[in-house]
Chains A and B, each alone.
Chain A
Amino acid sequence: EILMTQSPATLSVSPGETATLSCRASQSVSSSLAWYQQKPGQAPSLLIYGASTRATGIPARFSGSGSGTEFTLTISSLQSEDFAVYYCQQYNIWPQYTFGQGTKLEIK
């Protein structure tokens, strides 16, 4: 099983600033990496797939990068609605998918 590790567990950032979230895989997942956003009481929603491709309707302030074992989700010009929990997910080994434990992005 591929283990996904996200850091930090909690990130405190002020509105308008940039947040950088990390995800590390225990072995290479190539670019088979997705990011999801989950707001309190809601289902997760897809943000990024293929490590760097934004899903339909996702604003350009969300960007993903990385390949292999190291990945980053960057959110620039943070808006109030961006404060949520973010999960990475690998899908390199189909269909033995695994998620990271999540990063909570909170208002500083």
Chain B
Amino acid sequence: EVQLLESGGGLGQLGGSLRLSCAASGFTFKNYAMTWVRQAPGKGLDWVSLVTNAGDSTYYADSVKGRFTISRDNSKNTLYLQMNSLRDEDTAVYYCAKEYYGRFDPWGQGTLVTVSS
């Protein structure tokens, strides 16, 4: 069974940093691009970032470019999101998902990031 399990969420300071992780199992992790999508409380879905299967190319939404860094460790089947210079608007549930030809399937259960001053 394909599973994705996020961790690392919690309370982050305004202007501070957090690092999210996503542990993958049940599929050949190194063969797939991976992505992060976030959902602010009571709001819709926003794509955040994507990393290619080898980790050699990364892409970001304009809202996080220059502040967030996506990476992966294929030896550990783990995806990461380093979040720096946190803003109020970064408060959201962050989901990781396996990307395949543009579609996201499956998704992890999500981890909540709350930015507070």
Contact = CB atoms under 8 A, between A and B. Distances in A.
B103 A99 contact: no
B109 interface: yes
A99 B46 CA distance: 7
Contacts of B103: 34, 46, 49, 55, 89, 91
B105 A98 contact: no
A43 B108 contact: yes
Interface string B101-112: 111111111100
B32 to A, nearest CB: 13
Interface string A43-87: 111100100000100000000000000000000000000000001
Interface string B91-116: 00001000101111111111000000
Contact of A87 (B44, B99, B102, B106): B44
Name B's interface SS. strand
A102 B40 CA distance: 13
Contact of A46 (B44, B95, B105): B105
A44 B102 contact: no
Interface of A: 32, 34, 36, 42-46, 49, 55, 87, 89, 91-92, 94-102
Interface of B: 33, 35, 37, 44-47, 50, 59, 95, 99, 101-110
Given A45-B106, A46-B103, 10 more contacts: A32-B102, A42-B109, A43-B109, A45-B105, A46-B104, A46-B106, A95-B102, A97-B102, A98-B47, A99-B44
